[in-house]
Amino acid sequence: MQQRKVILHIGLHKTGTRYLQRDVFRLLDAERFVFNPRALTLAVRAAVRNPGDRSYAEAARDAVDAWRRSADSRTLIISEPHISGDMYNQHEDCGCNARLMRELFPEAQIIYFVRRQSDWLQSAYRQQLVKGGSIPMEVFLNHYDGRFMSRPDRWTHGGRSVEALSQRFLEIYHAFATQYGAEHVHLFRQEDLRRQSAEVKTALAAVLGVATLPEPPRERLQNRSYSALAIHLFHPRTLRRFAAPTAADCGRPARPFHKALRPLTRLRRVFIQHVFDRLIYRDRDLLQAHDMRGRIDAHYVVENAELARIAERVVQALTSVAASQSTEHVVVTPTEENAHAETADHRRRRTASGRR
């Protein structure tokens, strides 16, 4: 079978995924790249969302085999943040998914974006308000009685929750580096995409094998999370105080009127995103209470230093590759320089002879 180039973008969620999918991958030359082909992507997505399920893994194998048997020789790009694991389950299935991806796509290059954990957790909280129940930040992070606790269940007090101090961003990197080798796992930080945009984009282009990233056709509206004001006004339950959950407070809530109320829930979301927050965007740091941000940042200080070191090494290596490739295209050999000089000298002599 023909060996084709494969690029897997594995997340994380909430680290610029929409930008990469909409403004980079989708705009690449369709004659050279195929992005998230439907049948293959759906099969891979189902497998990584159900890690360890043999039937979904087998369906993914069949989809990959069908792609390999096809005549499509373009570079395959699959962007699926669930490959790094379930964001509401501390990505604990990252190792299982890394092994499956290695089996399905042993030739793949991995693109992996991370973000400061405190910022990521705040963004994930605001996202869960869109997807799930209205709960305070403290409940989402299982913060009770002045400390972060292990969560008793995925759902507590009617909403999804996570463990603030059990995120696995570095572990995800090591899981994929173990399977693919560190030289094939390209880790970037969302903060660097903002602060060092040119360098990171050059590095991304090098992974993709293009000179530069495509330019979006027009300026797009920023993909902002719900503002703090909108959360307090339209999700008033977030202002309540909750005690540490008991068994009765755990588990996915029964919502007998969920389907009937779904149109109103959708209307609320659309109104917040496209009307209220565009007219009045008043925000604040929801992690300021109880010094949650300070304690989260302190917990991950060593891990973040290592992530920053890896990201810096990746960007430096890839920008060096891009620079060398650019130089190769513009090099003028000494023989060519002599030929150009001789031609110019010949023109000058001919011009002077004509004047005489």
160 with 129: CB under 8 angstroms? no
Determine the Cα angle at 141 with ends 137 and 146, to 5°: 90
**Percent of the chain residues topping a pLDDT of 70:** 89
101-155 per-position pLDDT tens digit: 999 999 999 999 999 999 999 999 999 998 768 999 999 999 999 999 999 999 9
Residues in the chain: 356
Q: Which of 74-83, 213-222, 337-346 has the lowest mean pLDDT?
A: 337-346
295-324 per-position pLDDT tens digit: 999 999 999 999 999 999 999 999 999 888
Residues 102 and 230 in one domain: no
Bridge pairing between strands 109-114 and 155-156: unpaired
Residues 103 and 233 in one domain: no
Name the pLDDT band for 224 (thresholds 50, 70, 90). Answer: confident
Residues 215 and 249 in one domain: no
Residues 347 and 317 in one domain: yes
Q: Tell me, yes or no, whether 330 lies in a domain.
A: yes
Q: Tell me, yes or no, whether 34 lies in a domain.
A: yes
DSSP per residue, 266-297: HHHHHHIIIIIHHH------TTTGGGHHHHHH
Residues 286 and 336 in one domain: no
Q: Total structural domains in the chain?
A: 2
Specify the DSSP element, H or E, that contains 173: helix 169-180
pLDDT of the residue at 220: 60
Alpha-carbon gap, residue 282 to 84, rounded angstroms: 32
Residues 285 and 315 in one domain: no
Q: Tell me, yes or no, whether 265 lies in a domain.
A: yes
Residues 82 and 189 in one domain: yes
Which CATH number covers residue 29? 3.40.50
Whole domain around residue 240: which residue ranges? Answer: 117-163+221-299
195-206 per-position pLDDT tens digit: 989 999 999 999
Q: Tell me, yes or no, whether 40 lies in a domain.
A: yes
Segment 7-14 mean pLDDT: 98
Q: Tell me, yes or no, whether 173 lies in a domain.
A: no
Judge residue 260's burial from the number of C-beta atoms within 10 Å of its C-beta, 0-12 exposed, 13-18 middle, 19 or more buried.
Answer: exposed
Residues 155 and 256 in one domain: yes
Q: Tell me, yes or no, whether 35 lies in a domain.
A: yes
The two tokens of residue 269 are 């979301």
Residues 83 and 5 in one domain: yes
Higher pLDDT, 2 or 133: 133
Q: Tell me, yes or no, whether 168 lies in a domain.
A: no
Q: Tell me, yes or no, whether 321 lies in a domain.
A: yes
Residues 35 and 83 in one domain: yes
Alpha-carbon gap, residue 243 to 157, rounded angstroms: 9
Residues 314 and 292 in one domain: no
Residues 243 and 135 in one domain: yes
Name the pLDDT band for 223 (thresholds 50, 70, 90). Answer: low
